[in-house]
Chains A and B, each alone.
Chain A
Amino acid sequence: MRILRFVVRRLLQLVPVLLGVVVLAFLLVRVLPGDPVRSILGQNATEEDAAAARARFGLDQSLWHQFLDYLGGLLTGDFGTSIQSGGSVGSEMALRVGPTLELVVISVTFALVVATVLGIWSAKRANRAGDHSIRIFALVGNSVPEFWLGLVLVLVGYSILGWFPAPNGRVDPDTGLTPLTGADLVDAVLTANGPATASAAAYLVLPVLTLVVGVVAPLLRSVRASALEVLHSESYAAAKAHGLRDRTLHHGYLLRATLVRLPSLAALVFGTAIGSTVLVEYVFSWQGFGQWALRGLLYRDYPVVQASVLVIALCYVLVFLIADVVHAILDPRVRL
């Protein structure tokens, strides 16, 4: 399989990148000012207490030693122990990644669908009122800071209209959801928990909306431009000039050709969305990965920061890889 070979080759290429990320994150947290252990010791701790605490977390070792230990841990899937909580970073992270990924994946997917439908619609009516208004709307949405939009949505959707649950989490605890993956909607569906599914979905609406509004504009722009290009392309003109029916034209000649260039942009958008969830999480009390990483950074919880950087980087490169594969599947011209 050529695709498989391509994937393997790309995966190999990821190794140096991830290693670079690991090294960079490792060094970066350590050159930052701030003492990771002071905040867990209390005010009355002496220098000896601090030294003992450092020794507990291996922070008294040489940088090399620490790095090799860390790398060795990574290879066995051990992300280390959080300085702040004393718990295993791996298991804490497992709890946090699910909710955030769920949020981002749903948002980006939704944004992609919206962008595709509206983008093509818009391109077919290029330079008419409908087209213009859609583009302006997308631009407007794109120009509002996400946290601000989130706060307003909470005020309107929850406080004034009362349509959505309070921004106090991801699912109603009374529904007794059994966590599996951490992604509540997925868990609810997997455990066939009806009320939890409804609740998780209701909780998702506003944050997803916030993110979608934030990311849909570039996607829409791209789809519209591609669709226009296809509509103006010789090949589409040829198909049209041969009198093919609209349905055939749409499905056979427009859709796939339009979507060819979308995956790499979608990956980019996915990356920025992961980055900006930290704000959305704050506004909607989402308690996901972003807030966890941010807190880790504020308290210089080295293992947490390192792990979160690595995981975000991993998501990022994997999403790009997936995008490339999808692109290769969509576009027969791509040589693998």
Chain B
Amino acid sequence: MAELRTVPGGPAAAPVVVPGGDRDGRFASRMIIAGASILSVVALAAVFAPLLSQWGETEIDAANTLVAPGGSHLLGTDGNGMDIWSRVLYAARLDLGIALAAVALAVVVGTLLGLVAGYFGGWLDDVLMRVVDIFQSFPTFILALAVAALLGNGTINLIVTIAAVNAPAYARLVRAEVRSLRELPFVDAAITSGASPAGVLWRHLLPNSLTPVRVIAPLNCGWAMLTLAGLSFLGLGVSIPEAEWGAMISLGAADVVGGRWWTSVPPGLALFVCVLGFSLLGEGLQDRANAKRR
């Protein structure tokens, strides 16, 4: 439907112009562009970290611990004498990597579950969805702690944990999508064309049910990063002393009180900017999807 606009007055001969319309989606595009550029910058920083900093990720400058920004340490050093700037750069690798991998894993697992449950329905659906319920109602941090305690701290486990927390949402999303798609004629068309159930699932339902997933996933990446930071804050993050923003923030957070802002503000900003990038991207995509639905 139309935008509800009243038509402004004016001389009879001149055309009457209804404002708006031209801005539709421009903000969404801007958000998408802004988000994507932020993320590309972060990704570039991650890739070229060694070129952008003279210190290594865990290199200790023992003579200079907790020095303020400036001098040979662009953003100062932390309590271990490690260079903040280079750690902030290197951390992008882990943070981006874990967030993306975790969300990817969650998407894959959740989508598969959702597809199967939504398509076959019946008892299989009931059972799968109850399992999803169980996982979803299981508290995040306890799940994370359990995985960490079970498998030890490590990148893979963090990915598994964060994926486990997120997968149920995708399963629900995809299931709901599949259930509504299943009622659409194109599925009947595929069946009457002799497609096998697997074929229907794989070639017809899967590609179409991914639309909402595509929109949610970026938002979810941002959220995954925050979860990762939270886990680090609880000491369940990446293995020490690998650089990870959340871990750096949680180590340095208490320093702010003492005026040593540089140990936690730079990683905090990096995390913030990166999450914001994902959020902008996700929100932009969602806007666009909503606009399309309208």
Query: What 0/1 pattern do residues 14 to 29 of A give for CB contact below 8 A with B?
Result: 0011001100110011
Smallest CB gap from B152: residue in A: A33
Given the interface pairs A146-B230, A275-B141, A308-B139, the reply to whether A132 lies near B27 with Cβ below 8 Å is yes
Asked if residues B253 and A148 are in contact (CB atoms below 8 Å), the reply is yes
Smallest CB gap from A278: residue in B: B141
Asked if residues B142 and A229 are in contact (CB atoms below 8 Å), the reply is no
Given the interface pairs A127-B27, A151-B256, A279-B233, the reply to whether A143 lies near B137 with Cβ below 8 Å is no
For residue A54, CB closer than 8 A to chain B, the reply is no
Query: What 0/1 pattern do residues 233 to 251 of B give for CB contact below 8 A with A?
Result: 1100000000000100110
For residue B101, CB closer than 8 A to chain A, the reply is no
Q: How far is the CB of A291 from chain B (nearest CB, A)?
A: 11
Q: How far is the CB of B253 from chain A (nearest CB, A)?
A: 5
A residues less than 8 Å from B20 (CB atoms):
127
B residues less than 8 Å from A274 (CB atoms):
139
Measured in the bound complex, the distance between the Cα atoms of B234 and A155 in whole Å is 20
In this complex, which of A145, A233, A240, A290 has the most chain B Cβ atoms within 10 angstroms of its Cβ? A145
Asked if residues B256 and A152 are in contact (CB atoms below 8 Å), the reply is yes
Interface size of B by CB at 8 A reads 54
For residue B14, CB closer than 8 A to chain A, the reply is no
In this complex, which of B130, B138, B142, B290 has the most chain A Cβ atoms within 10 angstroms of its Cβ? B142
Smallest CB gap from A272: residue in B: B140
Asked if residues A229 and B138 are in contact (CB atoms below 8 Å), the reply is no
Asked if residues A271 and B142 are in contact (CB atoms below 8 Å), the reply is no
Measured in the bound complex, the distance between the Cα atoms of B130 and A189 in whole Å is 40
Known: A147-B250, A151-B257. 17 other contacts (CB 8 A): A16-B130, A21-B138, A24-B134, A32-B149, A139-B279, A139-B280, A142-B279, A143-B271, A146-B230, A148-B229, A240-B4, A276-B230, A279-B233, A293-B139, A309-B139, A312-B138, A317-B137
B residues within 8 Å of A by Cβ?
1-4, 20, 23-24, 26-27, 130-131, 133-134, 136-142, 145-146, 149-150, 169, 219, 222, 226, 229-230, 233-234, 246, 249-250, 253-254, 256-257, 264, 268, 271-273, 275-276, 279-280, 283, 286-287, 290, 293-294
A residues within 8 Å of B by Cβ?
13, 16-17, 20-21, 24-25, 28-29, 31-34, 127, 132, 135, 139-140, 142-148, 151-152, 155, 159, 217-218, 221, 225, 228-229, 231-234, 236-237, 240, 268, 271-272, 274-276, 278-279, 290, 293-294, 297-298, 305, 308-309, 312-313, 316-317
